[in-house]
Amino acid sequence: MQETISPELRALGSRCCIDLPPPVSADHAQELAQDFQILGHPVRLQLLAVLAQNPGKICVCDLEAALPIKQPTVSHHLRLLREAGLVDCERHGQWAYYVLKHDAMTALQGRVGSVLHLLT
């Protein structure tokens, strides 16, 4: 709760509330916004869930079969997850196998959890 100064004691042109520093720095807020953006699409959440529930590498054809969307859409979202550093990809011939990067997911969970803690 903010401290307030009664209107009678406040000087003309001064603020009524105390100055509060932002709880999250601008750089940290930018990083968090990127984290929320990568998590902000249902297809990416579904892909992460499938990868998290299945240990080891999963063929892209199995990921496509797990979701009711077309292959180009799956590939697009997998590329975004790779660029975010949350999944890794290994190619064997024409097939790509994906695996969740657990250390990156743990770091993401910590960053997102820290800001959610501030909001409660």
C-alpha to C-alpha distance for 36 and 17, rounded to whole angstroms: 31
Model-wide pTM > 0.85: no
In a domain, 114, yes or no: yes
Which CATH number fits the domain that encloses residue 42?
Answer: 1.10.10.10
Residue 100 CB contacts under 8 Å (≥ 6 apart), including other chains: 48, 51, 52, 86, 87
pLDDT of 11 higher than 80: no
pLDDT digits (tens, 9 = 90+) for 16-45: 667 767 778 888 889 999 999 999 999 999
pLDDT of 113 higher than 60: yes
pLDDT band at 5 (very low <50, low <70, confident <90, very high): low
Boundaries of domain holding 65: 28-119
Residue 78 burial (CB count, 10 A): 21
State the DSSP code for 67. Answer: S
Residue 26 or residue 102, greater confidence = 102
In a domain, 17, yes or no: no
pLDDT at 48: 96
In a domain, 18, yes or no: no
Give the count of domains, the chain. 1
